[in-house]
Structure 1
């Protein structure tokens, strides 16, 4: 009874699922068939399952408890929960310093281009202001995205692209299409913490593969695929989050070779525009056969204009469109999509990105040097983007440092929120664009020195 209740609570079994036969469960658990009959009869009486004559036993809809994503994390450990950084960053005081957040400062963004786009949209027809958008999203923005993908070596046809409500929504839709509770998903270790949060919501088994400066540890990746038979591998292949590493062409080819035939790869390339040089793209090398490319514009244009995209095989796109209709009756707001299209089409966007790259390159060096002065060693100094993965001194726990810094209104990102294996306790991700205030380093140094041992 406890085993069945546990499967229902974890959503390995959901409403309507058929339970194993009496003989099968008896063999699996090593008990007699009469014991299974008794357990099933009691679960029927408790309303957990119901019997169908000649068909077997099935999970009742009323058996499912509300999904509490953080229930497996003890309150005293909440600082290593993937939701912790998000809540602190999104809900923190406007005056708080946020070196642990995942976006650029507001005064770095193309605000005037956004305002221009808003004015142009307001002067246009009423449809974009009041109507639902099409199922695939703005034709103008899709045309622009296809051109940008082609520049990255990812050739697409019109039926291989759709817009979504955000980059996170894009991953969620793919998960809805491919996964069922109990399936296995491989992620990088460390990986973007919201990958872990979203996958937890889908009730899947998450297995991490150690990440190196050139990409996933390929030997470990191959071993995990052979042992776990995962359905998905979710990654940032270029300008990896949180480490800032860039996958090499050799590693990218070996990843595709290892994943042949059995695994779908979701490649989140949200940071591509920050790269100072062309990057290898799994989607380009694969031709969108087994790789699904997703992205959004929250880091480069506006986090307020929620808009993402999916590039995939045409048959996948059709299924994903239906799911998006069912879940949200369409993709991004036409207002958001048209404004983003206007910003990307303008000549100022290229200049905006070039200036951002220059500023980030300077701040990567400045931040790395400031961290080293207080005993935090950069894992690597990235060649692009705003993430810097720092290793704290021996014996210092990043979660304790983050908790201490929060008392000084500084939001940090401790390493274990990114680690499926929870082996990154000495690491911390820093957003170099948010590290200009020297108070950050003063508080960090004090928090490190105050730790016992």
Structure 2
């Protein structure tokens, strides 16, 4: 493969050229025919050559020339709700990501994942080839119902539908409950992917200022009267990006306003397992009358093992199942089996307990280091990986983020989280991604200049 690929790259073999036959190649290279067959098959899979029935193998069209500009970070992209996600997901080797929203690979239970995958592959019977049922794997839904009950949320397994992610769950809820032009309230600042998804649904996004105990209730009520929104989407566990926690008083007042103004609340709870002491859950107080509850395991188990869920009242679950079948047909039964194995083998609780302790230490260490650059925590989070840091007056977070990106450091500037663009003086930091000394070396070069 290397020999042939090198000849194609050097143009010794031009596009359209016929490769030697399998027998000739085997004799020339001193290998077996089966080795050449395997090499040709792999080169064809990579698109370098193509088979032509009854004729042989031919070199395909030339590969696009390498572009140095494409290899580096895109400094010219506008800082919009997708800026941080795109920069972090497209980051190559050597790029540090204190602005991303997930844990480093070394913090995740990779050994447990590998063990569970091996066990799953040996188990008989197990569904490795077929579609899963519309609601998803029943034993996992039963376990999720028990886990939710630990947070005071009473949901029958039939009220829980598995999805491929928390984002897919929110997407399906939006498909079910809103139409283009409907108003949706979000926190300001709030998770930027909510804003991007709502744009995709052609909704009108209205931000409500967020406080250390939840949304500003006075301004929330004002927004209800002025805009008559259909939905409100929020985090009630550790809040993204601020790290704040919803208070019980604010939760009760929110639900009273929702009832008075016929508002549905979508509660994204993907950070739930980071908490030592659970914050109030709107679904626990509401009983699914007006609240849709969403979760996933991307933050604590694996972002590569895509598994989320949505819990809602029965008639909405019926509609969500229809939408899931129409748009995705099924969620992965293999992924569901894998998550179930990890949640039930006794290792998951130990893993998340260790994560909570590590994050608590990291929050203190990183906040202290950032204070040296004149940054101040907006709130002292009780849990989670996020710090919402205020910059010194006159410093623009977008400018800092662009300069950092040129040094292969991905930051999360405040206005990416703000519908009103009122957070230019803030940066969100992921403390677990800030422990590399090089992070602070780059920041020192920027803030000291």
Given that 1:191 and 1:418 are in contact with CA atoms closer than 8 Å, whether structure 2 keeps it comes out as yes
Given that 1:97 and 1:411 are in contact with CA atoms closer than 8 Å, whether structure 2 keeps it comes out as yes
- Name the CA distance, whole Å, in 1 between partners of 2:379 and 2:79: 23
Aligned equivalent of 2:200: 201
Aligned equivalent of 1:169: 168
Aligned equivalent of 1:275: 275
Aligned equivalent of 1:85: 84
Pair 1:93–1:76, CA change in 2 (3 A): closer
- Name the CA distance, whole Å, in 2 between partners of 1:439 and 1:378: 21
Aligned equivalent of 1:379: 378
- Name the CA distance, whole Å, in 2 between partners of 1:439 and 1:363: 16
Given that 2:120 and 2:126 are in contact with CA atoms closer than 8 Å, whether structure 1 keeps it comes out as no
Q: Which segments of 5 or more consecutive residues in structure 2 lack a partner in the other structure?
A: 1-73
Aligned equivalent of 1:56: none
2:337 aligned with 1:323 = no
- Name the CA distance, whole Å, in 2 between partners of 1:76 and 1:386: 26
After superposition, residues 104-183 of structure 1 pair within 5 angstroms as 104-125=103-124, 127-183=126-182
- Name the CA distance, whole Å, in 2 between partners of 1:149 and 1:442: 42
- Name the CA distance, whole Å, in 1 between partners of 2:384 and 2:422: 24
Quote the offset at 1:267 in angstroms: 0.1
2:438 aligned with 1:439 = yes
Q: Residues 265-301 of structure 1: CA distance to partner in whole angstroms, max 9, x if unpaired? A: 0000000110110220000000011000001000011
2:392 aligned with 1:399 = no
- Alignment length (residue pairs): 375
Structure 2 length-normalised TM: 0.82
- Name the CA distance, whole Å, in 2 between partners of 1:78 and 1:91: 13
After superposition, residues 288-367 of structure 1 pair within 5 angstroms as 288-331=288-331, 333-367=332-366
Given that 1:396 and 1:448 are in contact with CA atoms closer than 8 Å, whether structure 2 keeps it comes out as no
- Give the CA RMSD over aligned residues: 1.3
- Name the CA distance, whole Å, in 2 between partners of 1:284 and 1:118: 34
- Name the CA distance, whole Å, in 2 between partners of 1:278 and 1:144: 18
Given that 1:79 and 1:403 are in contact with CA atoms closer than 8 Å, whether structure 2 keeps it comes out as no
Q: Residues 85-123 of structure 1: CA distance to partner in whole angstroms, max 9, x if unpaired? A: 111111101321100011111111111221121112111
Quote the offset at 1:183 in angstroms: 0.4
Given that 1:79 and 1:399 are in contact with CA atoms closer than 8 Å, whether structure 2 keeps it comes out as no
Given that 2:237 and 2:278 are in contact with CA atoms closer than 8 Å, whether structure 1 keeps it comes out as no
Which one has the largest radius of gyration?
Answer: 2
Quote the offset at 1:77 in angstroms: 7.4
After superposition, residues 256-275 of structure 1 pair within 5 angstroms as 256-260=255-259, 262-275=262-275
- Name the CA distance, whole Å, in 2 between partners of 1:213 and 1:305: 32
- Name the CA distance, whole Å, in 2 between partners of 1:318 and 1:264: 17
Aligned equivalent of 2:250: 251
Aligned equivalent of 2:95: 96
Quote the offset at 1:449 in angstroms: 4.2
3-state SS in 1 of match to 2:305: coil
Given that 1:414 and 1:428 are in contact with CA atoms closer than 8 Å, whether structure 2 keeps it comes out as yes
Q: Residues 38-60 of structure 1: CA distance to partner in whole angstroms, max 9, x if unpaired? A: xxxxxxxxxxxxxxxxxxxxxxx
Quote the offset at 1:245 in angstroms: 0.2
Quote the offset at 1:136 in angstroms: 0.5
Structure 1 length-normalised TM: 0.81
Pair 1:229–1:77, CA change in 2 (3 A): farther
